[in-house]
Structure 1
Amino acid sequence: MNNFVQFFTISLCCIYCLLTSPLQAKWMAHNFNVMGTAAEIRFYQPALMSEQQAQRLLVKLVDVMHQIDESMSPYKSNSELSQVNQEAHAKPLKVSADLLSVINKAQYIAKLSGGIFDITFASAGHLYQYREHIRPTELQLAQASKFINYQDIALDEKNSTIHFLKQGTKIDLGGIAKGFAVQKCLTILEQAGVEHALVNAGGDTGLLGDKLGKNWMVAIKHPRQPDKQAALLPLANEAISTSGDYERYFIEDGQRYHHILNPRTGKSAKKLVSVSVIGPDAMMTDALSTTVFILGRSAGFKLLEQFSGYEAIVIDNELNMHFSTGLVAN
Protein backbone atom coordinates (compact mmCIF):
# COMPACT_ATOMS: atom_id res chain seq x y z
CA MET A 1 0.00 0.00 0.00
CA ASN A 2 1.56 3.36 -1.02
CA ASN A 3 1.78 6.31 1.38
CA PHE A 4 -1.13 8.20 -0.22
CA VAL A 5 -3.53 5.24 0.01
CA GLN A 6 -2.44 4.57 3.59
CA PHE A 7 -3.01 8.24 4.57
CA PHE A 8 -6.40 8.28 2.82
CA THR A 9 -7.51 5.12 4.60
CA ILE A 10 -6.46 6.40 8.03
CA SER A 11 -8.22 9.73 7.38
CA LEU A 12 -11.47 8.00 6.45
CA CYS A 13 -11.29 5.92 9.64
CA CYS A 14 -10.76 9.06 11.74
CA ILE A 15 -13.70 10.85 10.11
CA TYR A 16 -15.91 7.77 10.61
CA CYS A 17 -14.99 7.65 14.32
CA LEU A 18 -15.80 11.33 14.74
CA LEU A 19 -19.17 10.90 13.06
CA THR A 20 -20.21 7.74 14.89
CA SER A 21 -18.77 8.19 18.40
CA PRO A 22 -21.13 9.94 20.84
CA LEU A 23 -20.35 13.45 22.00
CA GLN A 24 -19.12 13.66 25.57
CA ALA A 25 -22.15 13.89 27.84
CA LYS A 26 -22.16 15.77 31.14
CA TRP A 27 -24.40 17.49 33.67
CA MET A 28 -25.53 21.02 32.86
CA ALA A 29 -26.61 23.14 35.82
CA HIS A 30 -27.64 26.68 36.63
CA ASN A 31 -28.82 28.34 39.86
CA PHE A 32 -30.62 31.68 39.73
CA ASN A 33 -33.41 33.72 41.31
CA VAL A 34 -36.84 34.02 39.73
CA MET A 35 -40.47 34.34 40.84
CA GLY A 36 -39.31 35.64 44.20
CA THR A 37 -37.36 32.51 45.07
CA ALA A 38 -34.22 30.49 44.38
CA ALA A 39 -34.40 28.27 41.30
CA GLU A 40 -32.28 25.48 39.89
CA ILE A 41 -32.13 23.69 36.55
CA ARG A 42 -29.99 20.60 36.16
CA PHE A 43 -29.99 18.09 33.31
CA TYR A 44 -27.77 15.42 31.83
CA GLN A 45 -26.64 16.37 28.36
CA PRO A 46 -27.73 13.64 25.92
CA ALA A 47 -24.90 11.92 24.06
CA LEU A 48 -25.85 13.39 20.68
CA MET A 49 -26.43 16.92 22.01
CA SER A 50 -23.50 19.29 21.47
CA GLU A 51 -22.16 21.62 24.14
CA GLN A 52 -23.54 24.57 22.18
CA GLN A 53 -27.00 22.99 21.96
CA ALA A 54 -26.99 22.20 25.68
CA GLN A 55 -26.03 25.76 26.55
CA ARG A 56 -28.76 27.14 24.28
CA LEU A 57 -31.29 24.82 25.91
CA LEU A 58 -30.25 26.00 29.36
CA VAL A 59 -30.59 29.65 28.33
CA LYS A 60 -34.02 28.92 26.86
CA LEU A 61 -35.24 27.31 30.10
CA VAL A 62 -34.06 30.24 32.20
CA ASP A 63 -35.75 32.64 29.77
CA VAL A 64 -39.00 30.67 29.99
CA MET A 65 -39.06 30.94 33.78
CA HIS A 66 -38.35 34.67 33.66
CA GLN A 67 -41.07 35.17 31.04
CA ILE A 68 -43.60 33.41 33.27
CA ASP A 69 -42.50 35.61 36.16
CA GLU A 70 -42.89 38.74 34.04
CA SER A 71 -46.38 37.62 33.05
CA MET A 72 -47.75 36.19 36.31
CA SER A 73 -46.13 38.21 39.09
CA PRO A 74 -48.57 40.19 41.24
CA TYR A 75 -45.64 42.34 42.42
CA LYS A 76 -44.64 43.71 39.01
CA SER A 77 -46.88 46.62 38.06
CA ASN A 78 -46.45 45.96 34.34
CA SER A 79 -47.09 42.21 34.47
CA GLU A 80 -49.99 40.66 32.61
CA LEU A 81 -51.51 39.57 35.91
CA SER A 82 -51.36 43.11 37.30
CA GLN A 83 -53.11 44.35 34.18
CA VAL A 84 -55.83 41.74 34.74
CA ASN A 85 -56.29 42.88 38.35
CA GLN A 86 -56.53 46.49 37.22
CA GLU A 87 -58.81 46.11 34.20
CA ALA A 88 -60.70 42.79 34.11
CA HIS A 89 -63.60 44.11 36.18
CA ALA A 90 -64.44 46.68 33.50
CA LYS A 91 -64.59 44.36 30.50
CA PRO A 92 -63.39 40.96 29.24
CA LEU A 93 -59.63 41.18 28.85
CA LYS A 94 -57.65 39.14 26.33
CA VAL A 95 -54.80 37.19 27.93
CA SER A 96 -51.94 34.98 26.79
CA ALA A 97 -52.34 31.24 26.30
CA ASP A 98 -50.11 30.49 29.29
CA LEU A 99 -52.01 32.75 31.67
CA LEU A 100 -55.35 31.42 30.48
CA SER A 101 -54.13 27.84 30.95
CA VAL A 102 -52.97 28.45 34.52
CA ILE A 103 -56.17 30.27 35.53
CA ASN A 104 -58.27 27.56 33.91
CA LYS A 105 -56.45 24.86 35.91
CA ALA A 106 -56.86 26.91 39.08
CA GLN A 107 -60.61 27.13 38.46
CA TYR A 108 -60.75 23.36 37.90
CA ILE A 109 -59.13 22.70 41.28
CA ALA A 110 -61.32 25.36 42.91
CA LYS A 111 -64.43 23.51 41.81
CA LEU A 112 -63.18 20.12 42.98
CA SER A 113 -62.11 21.54 46.34
CA GLY A 114 -65.33 23.44 46.95
CA GLY A 115 -63.54 26.76 46.72
CA ILE A 116 -60.75 25.94 49.17
CA PHE A 117 -58.20 26.55 46.44
CA ASP A 118 -59.25 29.99 45.28
CA ILE A 119 -56.98 32.43 43.45
CA THR A 120 -59.32 35.31 44.38
CA PHE A 121 -57.93 35.05 47.93
CA ALA A 122 -55.79 37.96 46.70
CA SER A 123 -58.82 40.22 47.14
CA ALA A 124 -57.90 40.11 50.84
CA GLY A 125 -54.34 38.83 50.51
CA HIS A 126 -53.04 42.09 49.07
CA LEU A 127 -53.77 43.75 52.42
CA TYR A 128 -51.02 41.74 54.12
CA GLN A 129 -47.43 42.98 54.00
CA TYR A 130 -45.34 40.27 55.63
CA ARG A 131 -41.97 42.00 55.54
CA GLU A 132 -43.45 45.12 57.16
CA HIS A 133 -45.56 43.07 59.63
CA ILE A 134 -48.76 44.64 58.35
CA ARG A 135 -52.12 42.89 58.47
CA PRO A 136 -55.65 44.14 57.76
CA THR A 137 -58.07 45.20 60.46
CA GLU A 138 -61.14 43.04 61.02
CA LEU A 139 -63.23 45.65 59.18
CA GLN A 140 -60.87 45.76 56.20
CA LEU A 141 -60.83 41.97 56.09
CA ALA A 142 -64.61 41.72 56.23
CA GLN A 143 -64.98 44.15 53.35
CA ALA A 144 -62.29 42.56 51.18
CA SER A 145 -63.48 38.99 51.83
CA LYS A 146 -66.72 39.79 49.99
CA PHE A 147 -64.70 39.55 46.80
CA ILE A 148 -63.19 36.14 47.50
CA ASN A 149 -65.17 33.84 45.25
CA TYR A 150 -63.71 31.92 42.33
CA GLN A 151 -67.17 31.92 40.71
CA ASP A 152 -66.78 35.65 40.09
CA ILE A 153 -64.20 34.85 37.41
CA ALA A 154 -65.61 34.44 33.90
CA LEU A 155 -63.24 32.70 31.48
CA ASP A 156 -63.87 32.53 27.74
CA GLU A 157 -61.47 29.93 26.36
CA LYS A 158 -62.61 30.45 22.78
CA ASN A 159 -61.76 34.16 22.83
CA SER A 160 -58.96 33.86 25.41
CA THR A 161 -60.52 36.42 27.75
CA ILE A 162 -61.03 36.84 31.48
CA HIS A 163 -63.64 39.02 33.16
CA PHE A 164 -64.24 39.75 36.85
CA LEU A 165 -67.92 39.95 37.71
CA LYS A 166 -67.26 42.23 40.68
CA GLN A 167 -65.08 45.30 41.00
CA GLY A 168 -62.76 44.60 43.91
CA THR A 169 -61.88 41.07 42.80
CA LYS A 170 -58.16 40.34 42.55
CA ILE A 171 -56.28 37.14 41.76
CA ASP A 172 -52.88 35.76 42.74
CA LEU A 173 -51.29 32.69 41.15
CA GLY A 174 -48.71 32.13 43.90
CA GLY A 175 -50.18 28.71 44.64
CA ILE A 176 -49.83 27.37 41.10
CA ALA A 177 -47.58 29.49 38.85
CA LYS A 178 -44.23 28.11 40.02
CA GLY A 179 -45.50 24.59 39.47
CA PHE A 180 -46.59 25.59 35.97
CA ALA A 181 -43.12 27.02 35.26
CA VAL A 182 -41.41 23.86 36.50
CA GLN A 183 -43.67 21.61 34.43
CA LYS A 184 -43.22 23.71 31.30
CA CYS A 185 -39.45 23.43 31.62
CA LEU A 186 -39.69 19.66 32.04
CA THR A 187 -41.77 19.43 28.86
CA ILE A 188 -39.17 21.45 26.92
CA LEU A 189 -36.37 19.24 28.27
CA GLU A 190 -38.22 16.06 27.30
CA GLN A 191 -38.91 17.38 23.80
CA ALA A 192 -35.20 18.14 23.44
CA GLY A 193 -34.35 14.50 24.15
CA VAL A 194 -33.22 14.94 27.75
CA GLU A 195 -33.94 11.91 29.94
CA HIS A 196 -32.52 12.97 33.32
CA ALA A 197 -33.34 16.38 34.79
CA LEU A 198 -34.31 18.36 37.86
CA VAL A 199 -36.11 21.71 37.81
CA ASN A 200 -36.77 23.51 41.08
CA ALA A 201 -38.43 26.81 41.97
CA GLY A 202 -38.71 27.36 45.70
CA GLY A 203 -40.88 24.62 47.13
CA ASP A 204 -41.69 23.10 43.74
CA THR A 205 -39.49 20.42 42.20
CA GLY A 206 -40.02 18.45 39.00
CA LEU A 207 -37.97 15.41 38.03
CA LEU A 208 -37.44 13.90 34.61
CA GLY A 209 -36.29 10.30 34.90
CA ASP A 210 -33.80 9.36 37.58
CA LYS A 211 -30.26 10.50 38.39
CA LEU A 212 -28.42 8.09 36.07
CA GLY A 213 -29.61 4.90 37.72
CA LYS A 214 -30.15 6.38 41.17
CA ASN A 215 -33.14 8.13 42.69
CA TRP A 216 -33.06 11.86 43.15
CA MET A 217 -32.95 12.74 46.85
CA VAL A 218 -35.38 15.56 47.61
CA ALA A 219 -35.48 17.14 51.05
CA ILE A 220 -38.50 18.46 52.93
CA LYS A 221 -37.50 21.37 55.16
CA HIS A 222 -38.08 21.18 58.87
CA PRO A 223 -40.82 23.78 59.45
CA ARG A 224 -39.31 25.12 62.67
CA GLN A 225 -35.57 24.45 62.29
CA PRO A 226 -34.33 26.03 59.03
CA ASP A 227 -30.98 24.22 59.09
CA LYS A 228 -32.59 20.79 59.38
CA GLN A 229 -34.59 18.45 57.16
CA ALA A 230 -37.89 16.89 58.18
CA ALA A 231 -37.48 14.13 55.58
CA LEU A 232 -35.32 13.07 52.64
CA LEU A 233 -37.26 11.35 49.86
CA PRO A 234 -35.93 9.12 47.05
CA LEU A 235 -37.91 10.15 43.94
CA ALA A 236 -37.76 9.68 40.19
CA ASN A 237 -39.85 10.94 37.24
CA GLU A 238 -42.38 12.83 39.36
CA ALA A 239 -42.96 16.16 41.05
CA ILE A 240 -43.11 17.32 44.64
CA SER A 241 -44.38 20.62 46.03
CA THR A 242 -44.22 21.82 49.62
CA SER A 243 -46.38 24.51 51.19
CA GLY A 244 -45.44 25.75 54.65
CA ASP A 245 -46.19 28.50 57.13
CA TYR A 246 -42.49 29.35 57.47
CA GLU A 247 -41.66 31.02 54.13
CA ARG A 248 -43.52 34.34 54.28
CA TYR A 249 -44.76 35.22 57.73
CA PHE A 250 -44.44 37.39 60.80
CA ILE A 251 -45.30 36.79 64.43
CA GLU A 252 -47.31 39.29 66.43
CA ASP A 253 -48.42 38.77 70.03
CA GLY A 254 -47.42 35.13 69.76
CA GLN A 255 -49.56 34.51 66.65
CA ARG A 256 -48.12 33.54 63.27
CA TYR A 257 -49.48 35.37 60.24
CA HIS A 258 -48.43 33.66 57.01
CA HIS A 259 -49.25 33.83 53.31
CA ILE A 260 -51.40 30.70 52.92
CA LEU A 261 -54.86 32.14 53.47
CA ASN A 262 -58.10 30.30 54.00
CA PRO A 263 -60.44 31.86 51.40
CA ARG A 264 -63.39 31.40 53.75
CA THR A 265 -61.90 33.70 56.37
CA GLY A 266 -59.17 35.67 54.62
CA LYS A 267 -56.88 34.64 57.47
CA SER A 268 -53.86 32.35 57.68
CA ALA A 269 -54.74 28.65 57.66
CA LYS A 270 -53.92 27.07 61.04
CA LYS A 271 -54.48 23.31 60.82
CA LEU A 272 -51.01 22.31 59.57
CA VAL A 273 -47.48 23.74 59.35
CA SER A 274 -46.20 21.89 56.26
CA VAL A 275 -47.67 19.90 53.39
CA SER A 276 -45.75 18.12 50.62
CA VAL A 277 -47.66 16.62 47.70
CA ILE A 278 -46.05 14.12 45.33
CA GLY A 279 -47.46 13.32 41.90
CA PRO A 280 -46.93 13.27 38.14
CA ASP A 281 -47.49 16.98 37.37
CA ALA A 282 -45.77 19.92 39.11
CA MET A 283 -48.61 22.39 38.51
CA MET A 284 -51.02 20.02 40.20
CA THR A 285 -48.71 19.23 43.13
CA ASP A 286 -48.23 22.98 43.65
CA ALA A 287 -51.96 23.70 43.82
CA LEU A 288 -52.80 20.57 45.81
CA SER A 289 -50.17 21.24 48.48
CA THR A 290 -51.83 24.61 49.15
CA THR A 291 -55.29 23.03 49.15
CA VAL A 292 -54.38 20.24 51.58
CA PHE A 293 -52.65 22.78 53.83
CA ILE A 294 -55.87 24.77 54.16
CA LEU A 295 -58.14 21.75 54.52
CA GLY A 296 -56.08 19.98 57.15
CA ARG A 297 -54.97 16.36 57.35
CA SER A 298 -58.25 14.41 57.30
CA ALA A 299 -60.15 16.47 54.72
CA GLY A 300 -56.98 17.01 52.70
CA PHE A 301 -56.21 13.30 52.42
CA LYS A 302 -59.82 12.66 51.43
CA LEU A 303 -59.59 15.28 48.67
CA LEU A 304 -56.45 13.64 47.27
CA GLU A 305 -58.42 10.45 46.63
CA GLN A 306 -60.02 12.32 43.70
CA PHE A 307 -56.60 12.74 42.05
CA SER A 308 -55.02 9.52 40.86
CA GLY A 309 -51.29 9.28 41.49
CA TYR A 310 -51.08 12.07 44.08
CA GLU A 311 -50.00 11.51 47.70
CA ALA A 312 -49.10 13.77 50.60
CA ILE A 313 -46.88 14.09 53.63
CA VAL A 314 -48.17 16.56 56.22
CA ILE A 315 -46.72 17.94 59.43
CA ASP A 316 -49.19 19.07 62.10
CA ASN A 317 -48.89 21.77 64.74
CA GLU A 318 -47.26 19.33 67.15
CA LEU A 319 -44.65 18.60 64.43
CA ASN A 320 -45.91 15.05 63.93
CA MET A 321 -45.60 13.69 60.40
CA HIS A 322 -48.51 11.92 58.66
CA PHE A 323 -48.71 10.09 55.33
CA SER A 324 -51.62 9.66 52.93
CA THR A 325 -52.94 6.17 52.22
CA GLY A 326 -50.85 5.44 49.14
CA LEU A 327 -47.60 6.25 50.90
CA VAL A 328 -48.52 4.20 53.95
CA ALA A 329 -49.32 1.21 51.70
CA ASN A 330 -45.91 1.50 50.03
Structure 2
Amino acid sequence: MRAIVYDEYGGPEVLRMAEVPDPKVGPDSVLVRVKAASVNPVDWKLREGYLDGIMDAFFPVIPGWDVAGVVEASGAAAPEFGVGDEVIGYVREDVVRRGTYADKVAAPVRALARKPGNLDWAQAASLPLAGLTAYQALVHALKVTDADTVLVHAAAGGVGTFAVQIARVFGARVIGTASERNHEFVRSLGAEPVSYGDGLAERVREIAPGGVTAVLDLVGGPALAVTGEVGAPGVREASIVDVSIKERGGTYVFVRPSSADLTALVELVEANKVRVQVSEVFPLEKAADAQRRSAEGHTRGKIAIEIG
Protein backbone atom coordinates (compact mmCIF):
# COMPACT_ATOMS: atom_id res chain seq x y z
CA MET A 1 0.00 0.00 0.00
CA ARG A 2 0.99 3.65 -0.35
CA ALA A 3 2.07 5.61 2.69
CA ILE A 4 3.95 8.75 3.60
CA VAL A 5 6.98 7.85 5.72
CA TYR A 6 10.09 9.36 7.25
CA ASP A 7 13.30 7.48 8.07
CA GLU A 8 14.80 10.00 10.47
CA TYR A 9 13.84 13.12 12.38
CA GLY A 10 13.98 16.35 10.42
CA GLY A 11 12.09 18.97 8.45
CA PRO A 12 9.26 18.34 6.00
CA GLU A 13 11.81 17.33 3.36
CA VAL A 14 12.30 13.97 5.14
CA LEU A 15 8.75 12.93 4.20
CA ARG A 16 8.52 10.62 1.19
CA MET A 17 5.97 8.40 -0.51
CA ALA A 18 6.65 4.70 -0.13
CA GLU A 19 5.17 1.26 -0.71
CA VAL A 20 4.81 -0.52 2.62
CA PRO A 21 3.18 -3.81 3.71
CA ASP A 22 -0.50 -3.79 4.61
CA PRO A 23 -0.99 -3.55 8.38
CA LYS A 24 -1.83 -6.68 10.36
CA VAL A 25 -5.21 -6.58 12.09
CA GLY A 26 -5.12 -7.55 15.76
CA PRO A 27 -8.02 -9.11 17.69
CA ASP A 28 -9.35 -5.77 18.99
CA SER A 29 -8.86 -3.84 15.75
CA VAL A 30 -10.42 -3.31 12.35
CA LEU A 31 -8.77 -2.66 9.01
CA VAL A 32 -9.79 0.74 7.67
CA ARG A 33 -9.48 1.77 4.03
CA VAL A 34 -8.50 5.40 4.55
CA LYS A 35 -10.47 8.09 2.76
CA ALA A 36 -8.89 11.07 4.54
CA ALA A 37 -6.58 12.01 7.38
CA SER A 38 -5.93 15.39 8.95
CA VAL A 39 -2.85 17.33 9.97
CA ASN A 40 -2.27 18.29 13.58
CA PRO A 41 0.69 20.23 15.03
CA VAL A 42 1.78 17.07 16.85
CA ASP A 43 2.45 15.44 13.45
CA TRP A 44 5.30 17.78 12.54
CA LYS A 45 6.50 18.03 16.15
CA LEU A 46 6.90 14.25 16.21
CA ARG A 47 8.65 14.36 12.83
CA GLU A 48 11.14 16.89 14.19
CA GLY A 49 11.79 14.76 17.29
CA TYR A 50 10.26 17.07 19.89
CA LEU A 51 8.50 14.17 21.65
CA ASP A 52 11.43 11.74 21.51
CA GLY A 53 11.80 12.01 25.28
CA ILE A 54 8.38 10.43 25.90
CA MET A 55 7.65 8.30 22.82
CA ASP A 56 9.94 5.75 21.15
CA ALA A 57 10.12 6.02 17.35
CA PHE A 58 10.50 2.96 15.12
CA PHE A 59 11.60 4.01 11.64
CA PRO A 60 10.31 4.25 9.02
CA VAL A 61 7.48 6.16 10.68
CA ILE A 62 4.08 6.74 9.07
CA PRO A 63 2.77 10.05 10.50
CA GLY A 64 -0.80 10.94 11.40
CA TRP A 65 -3.27 10.15 14.18
CA ASP A 66 -6.61 11.20 12.61
CA VAL A 67 -8.49 8.93 10.22
CA ALA A 68 -11.78 8.63 8.37
CA GLY A 69 -12.53 5.64 6.20
CA VAL A 70 -14.39 2.41 5.52
CA VAL A 71 -13.96 -0.85 7.44
CA GLU A 72 -12.60 -3.67 5.25
CA ALA A 73 -12.06 -6.37 7.89
CA SER A 74 -12.65 -6.92 11.61
CA GLY A 75 -10.46 -8.61 14.21
CA ALA A 76 -11.65 -11.67 16.11
CA ALA A 77 -12.64 -9.62 19.19
CA ALA A 78 -13.97 -6.55 17.40
CA PRO A 79 -17.73 -6.97 16.81
CA GLU A 80 -18.44 -3.24 17.14
CA PHE A 81 -17.88 -2.53 13.43
CA GLY A 82 -18.46 -4.58 10.32
CA VAL A 83 -17.26 -4.54 6.74
CA GLY A 84 -18.54 -1.44 4.96
CA ASP A 85 -19.05 0.66 8.10
CA GLU A 86 -17.88 4.25 7.80
CA VAL A 87 -15.77 5.24 10.80
CA ILE A 88 -13.56 7.98 12.22
CA GLY A 89 -10.86 7.70 14.83
CA TYR A 90 -8.02 9.15 16.84
CA VAL A 91 -5.57 6.32 16.28
CA ARG A 92 -2.60 6.87 18.58
CA GLU A 93 -0.19 4.18 19.65
CA ASP A 94 2.13 4.51 22.64
CA VAL A 95 5.05 4.52 20.21
CA VAL A 96 5.64 6.44 16.98
CA ARG A 97 5.42 3.96 14.14
CA ARG A 98 2.20 3.32 12.21
CA GLY A 99 0.09 6.38 11.44
CA THR A 100 -2.79 7.38 9.21
CA TYR A 101 -1.12 9.01 6.18
CA ALA A 102 -1.63 5.72 4.33
CA ASP A 103 -4.07 3.75 2.20
CA LYS A 104 -4.95 1.44 5.10
CA VAL A 105 -4.82 1.60 8.89
CA ALA A 106 -5.34 -1.07 11.54
CA ALA A 107 -7.31 0.80 14.20
CA PRO A 108 -8.34 -0.42 17.66
CA VAL A 109 -12.09 -0.17 18.16
CA ARG A 110 -11.57 1.73 21.43
CA ALA A 111 -10.35 4.64 19.28
CA LEU A 112 -13.20 4.66 16.75
CA ALA A 113 -16.73 5.96 16.31
CA ARG A 114 -19.11 5.97 13.40
CA LYS A 115 -18.61 8.73 10.85
CA PRO A 116 -21.07 11.64 11.16
CA GLY A 117 -23.57 11.37 8.34
CA ASN A 118 -23.53 15.09 7.61
CA LEU A 119 -19.76 15.44 7.05
CA ASP A 120 -17.65 14.75 3.99
CA TRP A 121 -14.48 12.67 4.39
CA ALA A 122 -12.11 15.61 4.88
CA GLN A 123 -14.35 17.12 7.55
CA ALA A 124 -14.83 13.77 9.25
CA ALA A 125 -11.08 13.15 9.45
CA SER A 126 -10.61 16.61 10.97
CA LEU A 127 -12.85 15.94 13.95
CA PRO A 128 -11.18 13.29 16.17
CA LEU A 129 -7.96 14.65 17.68
CA ALA A 130 -8.83 18.34 17.81
CA GLY A 131 -12.44 17.71 18.78
CA LEU A 132 -11.50 15.24 21.51
CA THR A 133 -8.85 17.60 22.86
CA ALA A 134 -11.40 20.38 23.26
CA TYR A 135 -14.08 18.04 24.61
CA GLN A 136 -11.86 16.37 27.20
CA ALA A 137 -10.39 19.69 28.34
CA LEU A 138 -13.77 21.36 28.78
CA VAL A 139 -15.88 18.44 29.98
CA HIS A 140 -13.46 16.32 31.99
CA ALA A 141 -10.77 18.78 33.11
CA LEU A 142 -12.61 22.11 33.48
CA LYS A 143 -16.14 20.70 33.95
CA VAL A 144 -17.67 23.70 32.20
CA THR A 145 -21.33 24.55 32.87
CA ASP A 146 -23.78 27.32 32.01
CA ALA A 147 -22.51 29.22 35.06
CA ASP A 148 -19.09 29.76 33.47
CA THR A 149 -17.39 32.47 31.50
CA VAL A 150 -14.64 30.69 29.58
CA LEU A 151 -11.56 32.30 28.04
CA VAL A 152 -10.23 30.28 25.10
CA HIS A 153 -6.78 31.22 23.83
CA ALA A 154 -6.33 30.73 20.04
CA ALA A 155 -10.04 30.42 19.42
CA ALA A 156 -9.75 30.31 15.62
CA GLY A 157 -7.33 27.38 15.49
CA GLY A 158 -7.97 23.66 15.08
CA VAL A 159 -8.75 22.94 18.74
CA GLY A 160 -10.04 26.43 19.48
CA THR A 161 -12.89 26.28 16.96
CA PHE A 162 -14.17 23.13 18.63
CA ALA A 163 -13.61 24.48 22.14
CA VAL A 164 -15.72 27.58 21.52
CA GLN A 165 -18.61 25.56 20.12
CA ILE A 166 -18.51 22.85 22.79
CA ALA A 167 -18.40 25.40 25.62
CA ARG A 168 -21.42 27.11 24.07
CA VAL A 169 -23.25 23.76 23.90
CA PHE A 170 -22.90 23.57 27.67
CA GLY A 171 -24.29 27.07 28.02
CA ALA A 172 -21.10 28.91 28.92
CA ARG A 173 -20.27 32.42 27.86
CA VAL A 174 -17.08 32.30 25.76
CA ILE A 175 -14.39 34.89 25.15
CA GLY A 176 -11.90 33.89 22.46
CA THR A 177 -8.51 35.37 21.63
CA ALA A 178 -7.73 35.68 17.93
CA SER A 179 -6.08 37.95 15.40
CA GLU A 180 -8.20 40.82 14.13
CA ARG A 181 -8.77 39.10 10.76
CA ASN A 182 -10.41 36.16 12.55
CA HIS A 183 -12.75 38.12 14.82
CA GLU A 184 -15.85 37.69 12.67
CA PHE A 185 -15.13 33.99 12.31
CA VAL A 186 -14.76 33.56 16.08
CA ARG A 187 -17.96 35.52 16.59
CA SER A 188 -19.74 33.17 14.16
CA LEU A 189 -18.74 30.24 16.38
CA GLY A 190 -20.43 31.86 19.36
CA ALA A 191 -17.57 33.60 21.16
CA GLU A 192 -16.82 37.24 21.92
CA PRO A 193 -13.47 37.88 20.18
CA VAL A 194 -10.58 39.82 21.67
CA SER A 195 -7.17 40.48 20.11
CA TYR A 196 -4.23 38.75 21.72
CA GLY A 197 -0.98 40.55 22.58
CA ASP A 198 -0.21 43.53 24.80
CA GLY A 199 -3.23 44.78 26.73
CA LEU A 200 -5.09 41.44 26.51
CA ALA A 201 -5.95 41.42 30.22
CA GLU A 202 -7.48 44.88 30.02
CA ARG A 203 -9.53 43.93 26.97
CA VAL A 204 -10.88 40.81 28.67
CA ARG A 205 -11.69 42.70 31.85
CA GLU A 206 -13.52 45.31 29.84
CA ILE A 207 -16.06 42.79 28.56
CA ALA A 208 -16.00 40.56 31.66
CA PRO A 209 -15.49 42.88 34.66
CA GLY A 210 -16.18 40.08 37.12
CA GLY A 211 -13.46 37.94 35.61
CA VAL A 212 -13.55 34.60 33.82
CA THR A 213 -14.19 31.38 35.69
CA ALA A 214 -12.31 28.99 33.38
CA VAL A 215 -9.36 29.34 31.00
CA LEU A 216 -8.37 26.96 28.22
CA ASP A 217 -4.83 27.62 26.99
CA LEU A 218 -3.99 26.34 23.52
CA VAL A 219 -0.81 28.35 22.89
CA GLY A 220 1.31 28.42 26.07
CA GLY A 221 3.84 31.09 26.96
CA PRO A 222 2.51 34.53 27.91
CA ALA A 223 -1.11 33.36 27.68
CA LEU A 224 -0.81 31.60 31.04
CA ALA A 225 0.29 34.78 32.79
CA VAL A 226 -2.94 36.50 31.79
CA THR A 227 -5.08 34.19 33.94
CA GLY A 228 -4.01 35.83 37.18
CA GLU A 229 -5.17 39.19 35.86
CA VAL A 230 -8.52 38.14 34.40
CA GLY A 231 -9.58 35.19 36.55
CA ALA A 232 -12.43 35.35 39.02
CA PRO A 233 -11.82 33.84 42.46
CA GLY A 234 -11.39 30.09 42.09
CA VAL A 235 -10.72 30.27 38.33
CA ARG A 236 -9.93 26.85 36.78
CA GLU A 237 -7.18 26.46 34.21
CA ALA A 238 -6.27 23.83 31.63
CA SER A 239 -3.52 23.81 29.02
CA ILE A 240 -2.73 21.46 26.15
CA VAL A 241 0.70 23.04 25.64
CA ASP A 242 2.37 23.92 28.92
CA VAL A 243 2.80 21.15 31.51
CA SER A 244 3.95 23.74 34.08
CA ILE A 245 0.30 24.68 34.51
CA LYS A 246 0.13 21.86 37.08
CA GLU A 247 2.41 23.90 39.35
CA ARG A 248 -0.31 26.58 39.39
CA GLY A 249 -3.00 24.10 40.36
CA GLY A 250 -4.29 23.74 36.79
CA THR A 251 -4.66 20.68 34.57
CA TYR A 252 -2.42 19.62 31.70
CA VAL A 253 -4.43 17.84 29.02
CA PHE A 254 -2.92 15.28 26.64
CA VAL A 255 -5.81 13.92 24.63
CA ARG A 256 -6.63 10.21 24.97
CA PRO A 257 -8.45 7.97 22.49
CA SER A 258 -12.03 7.45 23.66
CA SER A 259 -14.82 5.88 21.66
CA ALA A 260 -17.39 7.25 24.13
CA ASP A 261 -16.14 10.86 23.91
CA LEU A 262 -15.81 10.64 20.14
CA THR A 263 -19.36 9.30 19.85
CA ALA A 264 -20.59 12.23 21.95
CA LEU A 265 -18.87 14.59 19.49
CA VAL A 266 -20.44 12.82 16.53
CA GLU A 267 -23.87 13.34 18.08
CA LEU A 268 -23.17 17.08 18.54
CA VAL A 269 -22.06 17.36 14.92
CA GLU A 270 -25.12 15.52 13.61
CA ALA A 271 -27.34 17.76 15.74
CA ASN A 272 -25.69 20.78 14.03
CA LYS A 273 -24.43 22.05 17.38
CA VAL A 274 -20.77 21.71 16.36
CA ARG A 275 -19.44 22.27 12.87
CA VAL A 276 -16.07 21.30 11.43
CA GLN A 277 -14.02 24.02 9.76
CA VAL A 278 -11.55 22.75 7.13
CA SER A 279 -9.38 25.45 5.62
CA GLU A 280 -7.43 23.39 3.09
CA VAL A 281 -7.31 19.87 1.66
CA PHE A 282 -4.07 18.41 0.27
CA PRO A 283 -3.54 15.17 -1.69
CA LEU A 284 -1.44 12.49 0.02
CA GLU A 285 1.61 13.20 -2.15
CA LYS A 286 1.56 16.80 -0.88
CA ALA A 287 1.69 15.82 2.80
CA ALA A 288 4.94 17.76 3.29
CA ASP A 289 3.23 20.94 2.08
CA ALA A 290 0.31 20.25 4.41
CA GLN A 291 2.66 19.97 7.38
CA ARG A 292 4.50 23.13 6.34
CA ARG A 293 1.19 24.98 6.31
CA SER A 294 0.30 23.65 9.75
CA ALA A 295 3.67 24.71 11.18
CA GLU A 296 3.06 28.29 10.05
CA GLY A 297 0.46 28.51 12.80
CA HIS A 298 -2.06 30.70 11.00
CA THR A 299 -4.61 28.11 9.94
CA ARG A 300 -8.30 28.79 10.54
CA GLY A 301 -9.69 25.44 11.66
CA LYS A 302 -8.12 22.28 10.25
CA ILE A 303 -5.99 21.00 7.36
CA ALA A 304 -6.99 17.67 5.81
CA ILE A 305 -5.27 15.12 3.57
CA GLU A 306 -7.32 13.34 0.92
CA ILE A 307 -6.25 9.72 0.39
CA GLY A 308 -8.94 7.34 -0.87
User: Please, what TM-score do these two structures have when normalized by structure 1?
Assistant: 0.23
More helix by share: 1
Structure with larger RCO (C-alpha < 8 A, sep 6+): 2
Q: Indicate the structure (1 or 2) with the bigger Cα radius of gyration.
A: 1
